[in-house]
Amino acid sequence: MGEHALLSASSSHRWIACPPSARLEENFENKDSIFAAEGTVAHALAEYKLKKYLGIKSQKPKSEFDEKELEYYTDIYFDYGCELIAEAKARSKDPIILVEKKLDFSNCVPKGFGTGDLVIVADKILDIMDLKYGKGVEVSAVNNPQMMLYAIGALNLFDSLYDIEKVRMTICQPRLDNISTFEITVDDLIKWAEDVVKPKADLAIKGEGEFCAGEHCRFCRAKFNCRARAEENMKMAQYDFRKGPLLTDDEITEILSGIDELQKWANDIQAYALDKAVNENKKWDGFKLVEGRSSRKYSDEEAVSKTLIDAGFEEEDIYSKNLLGITAMEKAMGKKKFKELLKDLVYKTQGKLTLVAQSDKRPEIKSTAEVDFK
């Protein structure tokens, strides 16, 4: 792997927090996933829609993925992008509007570059918008290093020509109904690049610095057998509990604070060991491969249907008929029509109570016991 891909903007949250992880990952194959392929197609479709809107010649991409779903979700990104463009045109007679623009931030990261999905410069404001098509993890624009590096790259292009004072970074994650925006002054952004990025990038490119486990480990290719991550999570097993038959409230609170990462790590270890056993015939001492619980399936649904009807069964006895689920119905009808016709016929059920850290953005609710007591 060449250095041009070593310190990518998309992995910057990781190599900034854990500089030597960048070199460590070189020991592991960077496998493409179906999710990444789907994201690439979504970006191409979103690019086509924006370019068409701006009068730029572009060819609509073809895809093997669900076209209705792609159209639906990229429309959300497109609509918000059009709003940003309209705002820019209202502020300035001749805004700079670029789609899928290569951005070079090698002034603070060796051979660093990325692609801005939508870049707008108008009246001292730089707007950068990024499409996140994934739905596994909600991504925030607040202090997002990938977006901030893209902003550095955009400033390198335009700051000498335009008196930019403020940068607005927006992440649109339509499949999670998440649109997040973060603003920062140019001075603060440059200070971050000088004080944080440059020193960390210098360590990372050399494979130096301290390994540090945390949330950023999630997509690291070395996460399965990284010693620093194992040691951090094994601290829970070595917790210095007080004597006595029952845990104290303080001890339970301490365990709760680390249990999510501990569960993720344990699941990753299990997945890694299983993959090695299945695909590389790896033998783990004390463990063996077995076949899990199986289920029954029809080998030919049309033949099953014909056999039952010939035997005298009615169609209503062998087929079920149900309304489409809400998400599928909304996709089929379109968001606007769905809201117009069904807004009074849709309600939200109460979510199952769950215990999370205070940093979680959801509002705190009263427990059943607290409500009953009052």
Strand partners, 131: 172
> Model's pTM, two decimal places?
0.77
Q: Which of 154, 230, 139 is nearest to 186 (CA)?
A: 154
- For position 2, what pLDDT does the model report? 38
User: Which regions of the chain are under pLDDT 70?
Assistant: 1-5, 237-242, 367-374
C-alpha 100/C-alpha 96 separation (Å) is: 13
C-alpha 6/C-alpha 178 separation (Å) is: 29
- CATH code, residues 3-206: 3.90.320
Q: What is the CA radius of gyration of the chain?
A: 26
Contact 358, 253 (CB under 8 A): no
- Residue 356 phi, psi dihedral angles, 5° rounding: -130, 170
Total residue length of the chain? 374
- For position 374, what pLDDT does the model report? 54
144: Cα separation from own chain's centroid: 12
- For position 367, what pLDDT does the model report? 66
Average pLDDT over all residues of the chain: 89
C-alpha 25/C-alpha 182 separation (Å) is: 30
- Residue 273 phi, psi dihedral angles, 5° rounding: -65, -40
Six-digit token string for 26: 């070189």
Position 302, amino acid: E
- Contacts of residue 364, defined as CB under 8 A and 6 or more positions apart, other chains included, come to none
Q: Residue 244 gets which letter from DSSP? A: S
